[in-house]
Amino acid sequence: MSKILDTFLNENLQGLHEQGLYNEIDAVEGANGPTIKVNGKTLINLSSNNYLGLATNEELKQVAKEAIDQYGVGAGAVRTINGTLDLHVKLEEKLAEFKGTESAISYQSGFNCNMAAISAVMDKNDAILSDQLNHASIIDGCRLSKAKIIAYNHSDMEDLRQKAKDATESGLYNKIMVITDGVFSMDGDIAKLPEIVQIAKEFDLITYVDDAHGSGVTGKGKGTVKHFGLEKEIDFQIGTLSKAIGVVGGYVAGKKNLIDWLKVRSRPFLFSTAVTPGDVAAITRALQMIMDSTELHDQLWENGNYLKAGLKKLGFNIGASETPITPCIIGDEKLTQTFSKRLVEEGVYAKAIVFPTVAKGTGRVRNMPIATHTKAMLDDALAIYERVGKELGVI
């Protein structure tokens, strides 16, 4: 190894350990459900994005097996050569129906969606107004486009309006886009989409919503845009198929001409092999399940509200969450890491979230209750939170 590289890696890894910023990665032994097994120990799982419990759903597993038997384990090519199976076409038709748009396109991941869609439309002659707390994939997608990135204060509509006005009146940009998460994953708050749409109309901004944590969760399962009834007002609806949907991949939904453009100009679509047949079949069935019934959605929210009320009653700072995502904000990074480790030792798997995922001094343990948690599991988790919280002086 290069001596310069070796020195760089060792010094910086040591620094991360000393600051409490080094993330330990645990291997889960088996399925990722309401409980998981790590190092031989069964733990109540409060760190999964598997909101509706569909990642382990028996019906979806059977559908995936049947698709593998018929189509094989891989698509065999990129979408533009001969990797587009009829399964992919059916999925994209179902996604458009699910999101209430003219058309949709699927990708290999939600991260890929933001790499693909932003840079396919925006360039160095354009500007992007981006919420300060947008997901890393949005930030990277904006950088890839080479457009001017103008960050606005988190959910601050006055700041957004002023920056939209300044950017428009400058005459420097051909196109201006406003980008926001639908649900912000670290705090659980919801974007102010009606106000964003109003500002976008005033200044003719392109609207872009990444609803990774909203699809399947808000709007009776159909997402944050649906929650506000704005399906006809948002140009780009982005989402993941790996969280509430329970499988893998991502999508962009919008007008047909937008999707047609992405199919010929978005690089992850053009140069990555298509999502596997088993995954596509399972996703399509999962979407239909969500459209047919709100049972899992309703159970998720019941569990989320139950855990949130319990943690708040114990005295934890849970921020301003409006969704099942429930952070326990601790602050100090080392204390946050210690708190998470003690929870694991006592029987709850809830990961510490620290810089650079969140700002320094705002470390938190993020809780993600899912539809398949039982009340007994949540009660056990709350008892452990109380015990560890008092032990470490957090409450």
Active site positions, annotated: 185, 213, 243
Structure tokens at 213: 């944590």
Structure tokens at 103: 């058309």
For residues 114 and 145, what is the distance between their CA atoms, to the nearest angstrom? 10
How would you classify the pairing of strands 206-210 and 236-240? parallel
Burial environment of residue 129 by CB neighbours within 10 A (0 to 12, 13 to 18, 19 or more): buried
Of the chain, the end-to-end C-alpha distance in Å amounts to: 47
DSSP per-residue codes, 88-130: HHHHHHHHHHHHTSSEEEEES-HHHHHHHHHHHH--TT-EEEE
- Mark residue 40 as left, alpha or beta (left: phi above 0; alpha: psi -120 to 50; beta: remaining): left
Q: How far apart are CA 130 and CA 119, in angstroms?
A: 14
Q: Is 73 exposed, middle or buried (0-12, 13-18, 19+ CB in 10 A)?
A: exposed
- 3-state helix, strand, coil split of the chain in percent (to 5) is 50, 15, 35
Position 10: which residue type? N
Q: Which amino acid is at 73?
A: V
Rounded to whole angstroms, the Cα distance separating 34 from 246 reads: 13
Sheet strands side by side (includes 127-131): 103-107, 250-254, 236-240, 206-210, 176-181, 127-131, 148-152
Q: What H or E segment, with its residue span, contains residue 76?
A: none
As a whole number of angstroms, the distance between CA 358 and CA 336 comes to 12
